[in-house]
């Protein structure tokens, strides 16, 4: 596919990331519904889909995972894989939906790494470069890469790796400031991101442990990055990205949602998943979200235990009203 002039691509990326905040991809989490909820509050942030396997996409062109609303733009579609021809094909398919295509080189999950995808690519930079080139051949949209500090503490190679991705044609980087071996343990080392930022000529977003306006500000300060990518922080609070972007722009801190507002968001989230997946499947799928929406409330552990086992929608609504009553919220 014919590439856009370099400066034009740089201008595109600058426009896509102007809010300085993006929704980080999370497998099984950042689906159509969650992206829609985040977009409801943040009109300019860069959304990212959950990771899409190039192997899967090659056999399932018509798939729910590509579902898109026009108001989801700007949006990044993230793909993973280790076969250049399939990555190129995936890029060709997704170009019609995406404003940018991202390559996952940071997923630490065993089944992904064993398949030579995700973080495993940090041990094979030559192949990683080939994948970037292949994706660029398949799209005229900007191409980005998301990766980590390295595979283990003894294999820290993120600066050189980032330079190689830029050399291959990547126009944007998101760096999760942990190694693959850390998974999500310990703390993201935002200061290390600064070294990458100073050694590449393309925008870099900081990722990892950004769960509030305060941590977003600290991550940006320590990393000197161009912005932040927020993942788990939006769970239970779809307004977070908007609040962070608003703070970056104005210096004003919008208060966190009240418990009543969070419970209403939870119901909306569940209702929209039911529309997408059907009631039975959606209620089971939604179990992973309950702990985040009810975190910090009275008897949270007990209520969470009940909710994750409940399969009757009307009873779930009863529990939501119970939570409001127990926490002295006027319904």
205 with 275, same domain? Answer: no
Q: Which residues lie across from 207 on neighbouring strands?
A: 176, 229
* CATH number of the structural domain spanning residue 316: 1.10.1200.80
Q: Show Cβ contacts of residue 282 under 8 Å, excluding neighbours closer than 6 positions.
A: 270, 273, 274, 276
Q: Which of 250, 276, 295 is the last residue of a domain?
A: 250
Q: Scanning the structure block, which residue is given the tokens 């689906």? A: 31
167 with 268, same domain? Answer: no
Within a domain: residue 88? Answer: yes
Helices (H), 21-142: 32-41, 54-59, 84-94, 110-114, 125-138
pTM of the model: 0.94
Q: Average pLDDT of 186-210?
A: 98
For 146-155, what is each residue's pLDDT tens digit? 999 999 999 9
CA neighbor of 4 nearest in space, from 180, 183, 141: 141
* pLDDT confidence of residue 331: 39
* pLDDT confidence of residue 328: 63
Locate 11 and state its tokens.
């201008």
The β-bridge relationship of strands 52-53 and 47-48 is unpaired
300 with 189, same domain? Answer: no
- pLDDT above 90: residue 3: no
Residues in the chain: 331
CA neighbor of 236 nearest in space, from 288, 278, 285: 288
Is residue 329 very low, low, confident or very high in pLDDT (cuts 50, 70, 90)? Answer: very low
Locate 155 and state its tokens.
């294999």
For 106-147, what is each residue's pLDDT tens digit? 999 999 999 999 999 999 999 999 999 999 999 999 999 999
275 with 246, same domain? Answer: no
Name the residue with higher pLDDT: 261 or 62.
Answer: 261
**Domain housing 283:** 259-326
- pLDDT above 90: residue 31: yes
Task: Name the active-site residue from 45, 80, 107, 330.
Answer: 107
CB-CB contact of 188 with 208 (8 Å): yes
Q: Which of 250, 268, 298 is the last residue of a domain?
A: 250
Q: How far, CA to CA in Å, does 163 sit from each of 6, 101, 166, 192, 329?
A: 17, 18, 5, 15, 53
Within a domain: residue 331? Answer: no
Q: Show Cβ contacts of residue 53 under 8 Å, excluding neighbours closer than 6 positions.
A: 79, 80, 81, 117
Within a domain: residue 230? Answer: yes
Within a domain: residue 72? Answer: yes
Q: Average pLDDT of 24-49?
A: 96
Within a domain: residue 1? Answer: no
For 55-72, what is each residue's pLDDT tens digit? 999 888 766 777 888 899
**Catalytic status, residue 107:** yes
Q: Scanning the structure block, which residue is given the tokens 């039975």? A: 280
Residue 330 CB-density burial (10 A; 0-12 exposed, 13-18 middle, 19+ buried): exposed
293 with 321, same domain? Answer: yes
Q: Which of 210, 227, 250 is the last residue of a domain?
A: 250
Name the residue with higher pLDDT: 65 or 301.
Answer: 301
Backbone angles phi, psi at 329, to 5 degrees: -105, 135
* pLDDT confidence of residue 327: 79
Within a domain: residue 316? Answer: yes
Share of the chain above pLDDT 90, in %: 86
246 with 264, same domain? Answer: no
Q: Which residues of 247-266 are buried (b: 16+ CB within 10 A; e: fewer)?
A: bbeeeeeeeebebeebbebb
The per-residue pLDDT of the chain, averaged, comes to: 94
- pLDDT above 80: residue 98: yes
52 with 185, same domain? Answer: yes
* pLDDT confidence of residue 67: 81
311 with 241, same domain? Answer: no
206 with 57, same domain? Answer: yes
171 with 213, same domain? Answer: yes
Please state which of the ranges 6-10, 38-42, 89-93, 186-190 shows the lowest mean pLDDT: 6-10
* CATH number of the structural domain spanning residue 12: 3.20.20.70
CB-CB contact of 220 with 228 (8 Å): yes
Query: How many CB atoms neighbour CB 186 within 10 A?
Result: 11
Domains held by the chain: number: 2
172 with 269, same domain? Answer: no
Is residue 300 very low, low, confident or very high in pLDDT (cuts 50, 70, 90)? Answer: confident
76 with 148, same domain? Answer: yes
């Amino acid at each position: 596919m014919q590439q856009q002039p370099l400066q034009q691509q740089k201008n595109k990326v600058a426009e896509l990331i102007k809010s300085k905040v993006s929704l980080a991809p999370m497998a099984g989490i950042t689906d159509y519904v969650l992206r829609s909820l985040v977009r409801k509050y943040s009109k300019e942030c860069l959304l990212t889909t959950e990771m899409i396997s190039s192997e899967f996409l090659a056999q399932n062109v018509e798939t729910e995972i590509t579902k898109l609303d026009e108001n989801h733009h700007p949006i990044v579609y993230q793909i993973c894989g280790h076969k250049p021809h399939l990555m190129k094909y995936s890029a060709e398919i997704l170009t019609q939906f995406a404003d940018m295509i991202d390559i996952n080189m940071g997923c630490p999950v065993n089944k992904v790494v064993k398949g030579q995808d995700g973080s495993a690519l940090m041990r094979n930079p030559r192949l990683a470069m080939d994948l970037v080139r292949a994706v660029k051949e398949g799209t005229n949209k900007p191409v980005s890469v998301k990766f980590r500090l390295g595979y283990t503490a003894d294999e820290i190679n993120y600066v050189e790796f980032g330079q190689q991705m830029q050399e291959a044609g990547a126009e944007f980087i998101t760096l999760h400031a942990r190694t693959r071996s850390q998974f999500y343990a310990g703390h993201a080392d935002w200061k290390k991101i600064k070294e990458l930022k100073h050694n590449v000529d393309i925008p870099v977003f900081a990722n990892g442990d950004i769960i509030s306006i305060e941590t977003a500000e600290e991550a940006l300060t320590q990393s000197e990055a161009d912005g932040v990518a927020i993942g788990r922080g939006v769970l239970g609070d779809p307004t977070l990205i908007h609040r962070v972007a608003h703070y970056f722009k104005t210096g004003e801190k919008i208060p966190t949602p009240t418990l009543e507002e969070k419970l209403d968001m939870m119901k909306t989230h569940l209702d929209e998943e039911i529309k997408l997946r059907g009631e039975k499947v959606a209620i089971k799928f939604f179990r992973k979200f309950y702990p985040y929406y009810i975190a910090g409330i009275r008897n949270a552990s007990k209520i969470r235990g009940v909710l994750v086992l409940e399969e009757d929608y009307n009873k779930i609504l009863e529990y939501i009203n119970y939570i409001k009553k127990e926490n002295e919220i006027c319904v």
